[in-house]
């Protein structure tokens, strides 16, 4: 998988080049790191932090590689490696220059150099980019030369983005959106990540935080100054309305059926059914490769076989499972247990049935399918609505008249999930099945560009749930203990701040003095 150096800047050199470069720098007694905390981790984003550098353009041989530098010594590195003297190039202007070793003055490469003075850079610090040729030897030489410049060291994983966060260039939701954009593998994932990276989700949470800060400021002011008659009447009534409205908005935001999280991590689709129904054949057909072994022997598949797919621009993790049956074989029993466990965890279940075993009468066929549904989806909604698709396989073995009768008859039966008739042998009905499958997946993920931004991280959901519980605390203690009620608002504000990474007591004091003019 491709990883951008924005999030993983030091891991992007192929064949151990980066590790070899670091070992070389150590043998030359060049300081690689200034340790600012225990455990060997570097705290980035501080005013006196080291200047960092890294390959930022991914691994492997390529036409152009980008080496990024950020920190107070970036200008020094630019001057001594490009031969600019005391001058610096115009900001954000590409110059074609020879890049040299600062000690030997040997020309390492000829490429483009760009200068980004603070604060107008990704990290908010002075930054430089070298656009060099992407050969391993060129990359190694440039990294070694940078490591020889005093005050510079290789960047840690994610350190450029960490510094951008500390500089206020990004909040945590934007950082997560950036990471999701780098790892996006489907069109829908790209759209969702780009929307989050643009700050739309962060602005929603910041708006809620701003309202909570004002609410908390009013409560605190009422507690501290109401006896001096400096507070207007009806302040707590306004607080009550604000808390109630905000709690309702957050609760509605949480009722998203995990669409954003599903889109980010992929919809878990599980293929299940009896032995020899054609489950592995369906997996291979959808993957367009022999991902699972197919044989006429019942019980061939005994473990879960997974494959990641892009279905209509949406990510899907497709799992083939062992056939459901009673067996004296201990290995097969474990496979059946795992299959049932996956069905319980699935977002969508594809229940594959051998159509040749169905009775010719539609009512009898429907009764058999409903019984099969009950045995497979025992702990789910028995209707399977929205959670299951019935896939009747091997229709090429049925007479055409019987296929048509089944297709029309089963559609009229209430209580059955959508029914798709296919043949993995001839691909008959596959196009219609894919249309139904794509529609189901799209419904589960939603449109990432429409409506309000959705939750994309489990931690967002956890913090918002804590926020709702804290607001409920305010309402519970409103009339009996206003100090405890205020603490509920403060906890709610803290929970929201943990999502974006921004919360501070000073802002609450600012609102108190601004709104009530206390302490003149």
What is the DSSP code string of 112-157? EEEEE-TTSSSSSS-EEEEEEEE-HHHHHHHHHHHHTSTTEEEPPT
Residue-wise pLDDT tens digits, 218-233: 888 888 776 655 566 6
N-terminal to C-terminal alpha carbon distance within the chain: 60
Max mean pLDDT range (17-21, 81-85, 432-436, 507-511): 432-436
pLDDT of residue 264: 93
CA dist., res. 115 & res. 95, Å (int): 9
pLDDT of residue 18: 43
Tell me what the pLDDT averaged over the chain comes to: 84
CB-CB contact of 336 with 322 (8 Å): yes
CATH code, 200-256+456-515: 1.20.120.430
CA dist., res. 471 & res. 223, Å (int): 18
CATH code, 262-445: 3.40.50.300
Architecture of domain 51-155 in this structure: 2-Layer Sandwich (3.30)
- Domain boundaries defined on the chain: 51-155, 200-256+456-515, 262-445
CA dist., res. 230 & res. 215, Å (int): 17
Residue-wise pLDDT tens digits, 237-260: 899 999 999 999 999 999 998 999
From the CB of residue 454, how many other CB atoms can be counted at a distance below 10 Å?
Answer: 24
Residue-wise pLDDT tens digits, 142-188: 999 999 999 999 998 889 999 999 899 999 899 999 999 999 999 99
Which tokens sit at 212? 């909570």
């Amino acid at each position: 998988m491709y990883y951008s150096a924005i999030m993983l800047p030091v891991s992007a050199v192929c064949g151990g080049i980066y590790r070899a470069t670091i070992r070389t720098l150590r043998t030359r007694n060049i300081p690689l790191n200034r340790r600012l905390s225990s455990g060997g981790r570097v705290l980035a984003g501080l005013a006196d932090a080291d200047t960092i550098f890294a390959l930022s353009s991914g691994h492997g041989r390529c036409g152009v590689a980008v080496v990024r530098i950020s920190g107070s010594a970036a200008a020094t590195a630019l001057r001594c490696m490009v031969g600019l003297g005391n001058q610096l190039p115009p900001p954000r202007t590409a110059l074609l220059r020879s890049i040299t070793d600062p000690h030997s003055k040997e020309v390492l490469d000829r490429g483009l150099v760009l200068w980004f003075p603070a604060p107008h850079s990704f990290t908010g610090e002075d930054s430089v980019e070298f656009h060099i040729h992407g050969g391993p030897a060129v990359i190694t030489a440039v990294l070694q030369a940078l490591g020889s410049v005093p005050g510079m060291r290789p960047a840690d994983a994610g350190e450029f983005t960490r510094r951008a966060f500390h500089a206020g260039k990004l909040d945590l939701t934007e950082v997560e959106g950036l990471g999701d954009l780098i790892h996006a593998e489907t069109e829908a994932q790209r759209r969702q990540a780009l929307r989050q990276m643009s700050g739309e989700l962060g602005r929603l949470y910041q708006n809620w935080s701003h309202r909570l800060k004002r609410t908390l400021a009013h409560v605190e002011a009422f507690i501290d100054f109401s006896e001096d008659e400096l507070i207007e009447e009806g302040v707590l009534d306004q607080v009550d309305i604000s808390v109630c409205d905000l709690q309702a908005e957050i609760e509605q935001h949480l009722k998203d059926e995990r669409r954003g999280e599903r889109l980010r991590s992929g919809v878990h689709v599980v293929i299940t059914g009896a032995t020899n129904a054609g489950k592995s054949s369906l997996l291979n057909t959808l993957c367009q490769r022999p991902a699972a072994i197919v044989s006429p022997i019942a019980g061939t598949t005994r473990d879960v076989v997974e494959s990641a797919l892009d279905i209509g621009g949406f990510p899907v993790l497709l799992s083939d499972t062992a056939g459901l049956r009673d067996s004296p074989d201990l290995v097969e029993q474990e496979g059946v247990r795992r299959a049932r466990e996956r069905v319980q965890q699935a977002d969508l279940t594809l229940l594959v049935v051998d159509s040749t075993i169905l009775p010719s009468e539609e009512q009898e066929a429907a009764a058999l399918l409903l019984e099969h549904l009950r045995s497979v989806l025992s702990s789910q909604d028995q209707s399977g609505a929205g959670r299951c698709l019935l896939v009747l396989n091997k229709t090429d073995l049925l007479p055409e008249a019987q296929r048509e009768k089944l297709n029309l008859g089963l559609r009229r039966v209430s209580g059955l999930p959508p029914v798709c008739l296919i043949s993995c042998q001839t691909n008959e009905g596959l196009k219609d099945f894919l249309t139904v499958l794509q529609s189901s997946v799209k419904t589960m993920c939603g449109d990432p560009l429409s409506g309000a931004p959705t939750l994309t991280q489990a931690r967002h959901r956890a913090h918002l749930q804590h926020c709702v519980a804290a607001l409920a605390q305010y309402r519970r203690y409103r009339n009996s203990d206003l100090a405890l009620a205020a603490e509920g608002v403060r906890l709610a504000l803290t929970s929201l701040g943990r999502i974006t990474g921004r919360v501070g007591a000073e802002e609450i004091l600012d609102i108190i003095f601004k709104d009530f003019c206390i302490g003149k």
